[in-house]
């Protein structure tokens, strides 16, 4: 243990990465915008500045702790600098706080009130940038961005994608997707983790509250709600209750008071998912094909695979997510039981996840041309609706969920935490393989919050290798290891959000997100313990549905209602373009399809070149392929023929490219 002085008080420290951690451990709330312990240190906001004897003013987040340091956190000079920094931020910030989604949870708002900033000496923002609401999940408002970089680092470091980055320099600097494109046109997977860390509302969840209210108030529409397992252990935080406490009973009461006709549990559909996914996995495992099998419950993960790893789409489970299984059953079968036209049955999902909004709009998930899930409301949005209704949530008496979709087992409930899907599948697979009753249902091997967990599970002589991953950057690393042949697994569960659905971007905002996520996860495990049934195959309602509608797990009827297919989202696909890949071709031709060249028409150029190669009988001589990226964006579209670089290849310059290819082919022939 070492010691330092903080504001004249001796403080011990041991192992902290920086002075900021030591100060906060000492009980001093040193302000920050850009510091997150899970991310790399950026040090741009300068709010955590301190005075260190002998070193002057330093950013505490950047400064390693040393023994006998004398640190001051609250001097007149530091207060002046912090207030100046806040004034400068506010001068460039859209200060229309009353209509901002983050009003009351905004870090900038909190700090200017804390430091008593009342007068802004530097005027107002004089340029209004357009708001990007193109995404199904998020809204990006550049006018509220304070350039803290939290979203940039989260997207790159936690999710391994890098959709957002800094653009321009000096006073013109912004954070945006490449070329300031809209979010729905770039590789965003809609996970929303950027909105979780954004301190000011520059990135927020896209609200669909108005759509939900319109359906509730329509007397000709029957509205049913499904509630995801992770919501029950987080919604209470919005009303002053502790994280991890299950409020599913109070939630049921609130929804019915708001005018919902039926309240159901997505955990029921999770039980169905277990039955279908286990059946699919055991079939693949016994045949030794398409392994490892990846889970498909997380829509952000599925879109990530479609964009970056379409070669492993066949390894995804074909099961729909629990949300979409529920919607399919509701529209295809339950509407008949209610005697309601499926077009008049409105399915509302309460989800912890922003990517579920995107998932609900996918063309694959429709019945008779209508979406199976009509609207997705996050935990945050639901809290607003409850407040708008004037309901005192904390004082509500609990009521039960409705039947038949309100009955669940513990296996369905733990779907909301990382490792939960794997554990639920193992509880079913064990009994399927061994034909024995599983009395000890807890599989500790797959529990925990490491980014990548590996477990070997013995199913009475049958060994199954399990992988559990949360965070898409971790998933990308594991995929690379599998493709390199350094990792061999049979079943892999992937969730995009840290900690699983309990850490979804639609969950309540908190300054202690990691701690809250873990507490919520423990709440789900506790709920599992308290339920009478812990295995999906024990759910009598699930078994009844199979008998009535679905014929049995893995049946043709189940596949039609509960399964789906996915496809590549790559810009250039070999199956549609049929590029030439002759192994003995003499001339290599590359066309850049990086973002800049792509926007300038390089894919059409690639197609036209393919056509010219066919017409000129050059296919056997030319290896034509797409390249990403040639890093000469200003000179695009760009074509490289052998070692010759051709810039700004417009359609008018296509004959020049073909001529160069023919010349190089001719030279190669003469040299043979």
For 531, counting Cβ atoms within 10 Å of its Cβ (0-12 exposed, 13-18 middle, 19+ buried), the class is middle
How open is the CA angle 52-57-59, to the nearest 5 degrees?
Answer: 95
Here the contacts of 545-550 (C-beta below 8 Å, separation 24 or greater) are 545/272, 545/329, 545/333, 545/404, 546/275, 548/333, 549/329, 549/333
**What's the count of helices (H) and strands (E) in the chain, helices before strands?**
23, 23
Question: What is the sign of the dihedral through the CA atoms of 103, 105, 111 and 116?
Answer: positive
8 Å CB contact between 316 and 294: yes
For 608, counting Cβ atoms within 10 Å of its Cβ (0-12 exposed, 13-18 middle, 19+ buried), the class is middle
- Which region holds residue 586: left if phi is over 0, alpha if psi is between -120 and 50, else beta? alpha
Tell me the C-alpha distance between 67 and 77, whole Å.
24
Of the chain, the end-to-end C-alpha distance in Å amounts to 74
- Give SS3 for 588: strand
- Give SS3 for 283: helix
Per-residue exposure over 439-463, b if at least 16 CB sit within 10 Å of its own CB, e if not = eebebebbbebebbbbbebebeeee
CB atoms within 10 A of CB 214: 12
Tokens linked to 648: 């700004």
CA-to-CA dists, residue 618 to 122, 230, 573, 621, 656, angstroms: 65, 58, 21, 5, 16
- Which region holds residue 450: left if phi is over 0, alpha if psi is between -120 and 50, else beta? beta
Q: Which of 636, 553, 136 is nearest to 371 (CA)?
A: 136
**Which distant-in-sequence residues (6+ apart) come within 8 Å of 540 by Cβ?**
407
Tell me the C-alpha distance between 259 and 98, whole Å.
28
Which strand (E) or helix (H) includes residue 671? Answer: helix 654-671
Tell me the C-alpha distance between 26 and 230, whole Å.
33
Count the residues in the chain.
Answer: 672
Active-site residues, by number, are 277, 280, 297, 317, 356, 359, 364, 501
Tell me the C-alpha distance between 159 and 124, whole Å.
35
Please identify which residue in the block is written with the tokens 């919607």. Answer: 327
Q: Are strands 2-6 and 70-72 parallel, antiparallel or unpaired?
A: parallel
8 Å CB contact between 620 and 585: yes
Tell me the C-alpha distance between 508 and 528, whole Å.
22
How open is the CA angle 274-275-280, to the nearest 5 degrees?
Answer: 95
CB atoms within 10 A of CB 510: 15
For 672, counting Cβ atoms within 10 Å of its Cβ (0-12 exposed, 13-18 middle, 19+ buried), the class is exposed
Q: Which of 188, 469, 422, 419 is nearest to 303 (CA)?
A: 188
8 Å CB contact between 214 and 504: no
């Amino acid at each position: 243990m070492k010691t330092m002085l903080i504001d004249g008080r001796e403080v011990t420290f041991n192992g902290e990465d920086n002075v900021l951690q030591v100060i906060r451990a000492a009980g001093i709330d040193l302000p920050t915008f850009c510091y997150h312990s899970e991310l790399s240190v950026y040090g741009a906001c300068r709010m955590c500045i301190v005075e260190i004897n002998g070193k002057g003013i330093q950013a505490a987040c950047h400064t390693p702790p040393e023994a006998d340091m004398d640190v001051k956190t609250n001097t007149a000079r530091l207060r002046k600098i912090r207030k100046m920094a806040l004034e400068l931020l506010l001068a460039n910030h859209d200060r229309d706080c009353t209509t901002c989604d983050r009003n009351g949870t905004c870090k900038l708002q909190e700090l200017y009130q804390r430091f008593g900033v009342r007068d802004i000496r530097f005027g107002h923002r004089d340029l209004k940038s357009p708001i990007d609401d193109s995404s199904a999940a998020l809204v990006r408002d550049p006018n509220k961005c304070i350039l803290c970089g939290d979203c940039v680092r989260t997207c790159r470091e936690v999710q391994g994608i890098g959709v957002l980055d800094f653009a321009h320099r000096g006073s013109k600097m912004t954070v945006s997707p490449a070329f300031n494109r809209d979010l729905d046109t770039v590789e965003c997977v809609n996970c929303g983790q950027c909105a979780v860390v954004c301190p000011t509302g520059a990135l927020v969840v896209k609200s669909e509250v108005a759509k939900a209210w319109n359906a509730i108030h329509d007397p000709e529409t029957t509205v049913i709600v499904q509630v995801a397992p992770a919501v029950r252990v987080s919604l209470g935080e919005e009303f002053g209750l502790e994280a991890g406490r299950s409020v599913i009973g109070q939630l049921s009461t609130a929804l019915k008071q708001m005018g919902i006709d039926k309240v159901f549990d997505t955990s029921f559909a999770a039980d169905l998912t277990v039955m279908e996914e286990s059946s699919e996995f055991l079939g693949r495992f016994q045949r030794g094909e398409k392994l490892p099998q990846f889970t498909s419950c997380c829509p952000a993960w599925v879109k990530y695979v479609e964009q970056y790893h379409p070669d492993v789409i066949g390894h995804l489970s074909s099961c729909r997510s629990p949300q979409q299984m529920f919607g399919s059953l509701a529209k295809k079968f339950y509407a008949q039981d209610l005697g309601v036209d499926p077009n008049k049955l409105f399915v509302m999902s309460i989800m912890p996840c922003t990517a579920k909004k995107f998932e609900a709009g996918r063309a694959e998930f429709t019945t008779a041309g209508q979406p199976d899930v009509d609207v997705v409301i996050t935990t945050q949005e639901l809290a607003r609706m409850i407040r708008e209704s004037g309901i005192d949530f904390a004082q509500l008496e609990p009521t039960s969920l409705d039947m038949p979709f309100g009955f669940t087992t513990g296996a369905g409930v733990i779907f909301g935490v990382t490792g939960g899907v794997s554990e639920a599948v193992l509880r079913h697979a064990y009994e399927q393989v061994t034909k024995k009753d599983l009395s000890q249902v807890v599989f500790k091997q797959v529990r925990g919050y490491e980014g990548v967990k590996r477990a070997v599970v013995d199913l009475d002589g049958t060994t199954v290798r399990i992988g559990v991953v949360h965070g898409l950057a971790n998933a990308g690393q594991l995929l690379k290891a599998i493709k390199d042949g350094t990792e061999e697994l049979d079943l892999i569960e992937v969730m995009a959000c840290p900690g699983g659905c309990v850490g979804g971007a639609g969950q309540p905002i908190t300054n202690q997100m990691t701690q809250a996520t873990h507490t919520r996860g423990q709440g789900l495990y506790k709920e599992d313990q308290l339920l009478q049934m812990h295995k999906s195959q024990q759910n009598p309602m699930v078994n009844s549905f199979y008998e009535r509608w679905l014929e049995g797990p893995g049946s043709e009827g189940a596949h039609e209602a509960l399964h789906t297919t996915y496809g590549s989202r790559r810009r250039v696909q070999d199956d549609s373009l049929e590029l030439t890949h002759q192994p003995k071709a003499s001339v290599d031709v590359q066309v850049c399809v990086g973002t800049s060249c792509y926007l300038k028409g390089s894919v059409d150029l690639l197609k036209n070149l393919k056509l010219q190669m066919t017409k000129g009988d050059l296919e056997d001589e030319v290896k034509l392929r797409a390249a990403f990226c040639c890093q000469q964006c200003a000179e695009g579209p760009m074509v490289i023929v052998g070692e010759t670089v051709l810039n700004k290849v417009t359609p008018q310059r296509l004959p020049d490219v073909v001529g160069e290819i023919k010349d190089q082919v001719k030279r190669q022939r003469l040299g043979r």
